Amino acid sequence: MSRAPNESGFSLVEALVALAVFAMAGVALVQLQSQSLITFARVETRALADIAAQNRLTEIVSSRAPPPISSREDQLEFAGRTWRMTTIVTAASDPRTRRVSVSVSDGDAAPGSVAHAFVVVPEGAL
């Protein structure tokens, strides 16, 4: 099929090829956007879990009473979510020092955040 010299524009095949190229680019952009939203949700969860863990450590460190050697798991309502928080207090090599580990997760198997601190027990408190 030949064209006359004065005809201009695209043929049907050229238009379909261009439409297919734009459709593939659109699908790639949608997939990229969905991956971006998934990554954002993970980062948000991890940041909130880290804030919750740091808050618990701040409560323990700023308490006047030394933390007893123990392990405790509880639920926390924070930022509109329910978090599972595990607090473990162990003795360090120095008998006056305690190691505090706080693990926070939003229900998944892996913790969203783990934070550690060392607390020095005052001499009269042992």
Distance CA 80, CA 84 (A): 13
58 in a structural domain: yes
Q: pTM for this one?
A: 0.74
107 in a structural domain: yes
Extract the tokens encoding 115: 């934070």
Distance CA 46, CA 104 (A): 9
5 in a structural domain: no
83 in a structural domain: yes
3 in a structural domain: no
103 in a structural domain: yes
Domain that holds residue 85: 12-125
Q: What is the pLDDT along the chain (126 residues), one digit of tens a residue?
A: 565 666 778 899 999 999 999 999 999 999 999 999 999 999 999 999 999 999 999 999 998 888 999 999 999 999 898 999 999 999 999 888 999 999 999 876 677 899 999 999 877 665
Question: 33 φ, ψ to 5°?
Answer: -65, -40
Confidence (pLDDT) at 4:
61
Please report, for the domain that includes residue 71, its CATH number. 3.30.1300.30
Domain count, the chain: 1
